[in-house]
Amino acid sequence: MSFTKRDAERIFRKLDLQDKRNTKHVYGWLIVDGKRVLPLHYSHGRGDMPGHVPERFRNAMHLNRGEFAEMVGCTMTREEYVRVLRRRGIV
């Protein structure tokens, strides 16, 4: 599966990640019920993310491959994602 910087940006916007900062990478936190739950980041590169980076991003989100494809394809909402995290005991 190809995964680009644009895909990561879309996910950051969809999940409404907070406390963003830009250095060599773009960092953000998923905040649920006023608590920081999950940190995510991606690099400022261009085009497809190389090699293992999409897998690491997927693992950081605690999603399986199918769920990650839904997230990238914009069929999973923020609320659905939070439900997945709750089911897994992360939230």
- Domain containing 28 equals 5-87
Domains in the chain, number: 1
Q: What is the pLDDT of residue 3?
A: 85
Q: What is the pLDDT of residue 1?
A: 67
pTM, two decimal places: 0.86
Alpha-carbon distances of 50 from 15, 21, 37, rounded to whole Å: 23, 22, 27
Could you report the average pLDDT of every consecutive run of 10 residues in the chain (91 residues)? 86 90 86 94 78 90 95 94 96 89
Tokens of 69: 């494809």
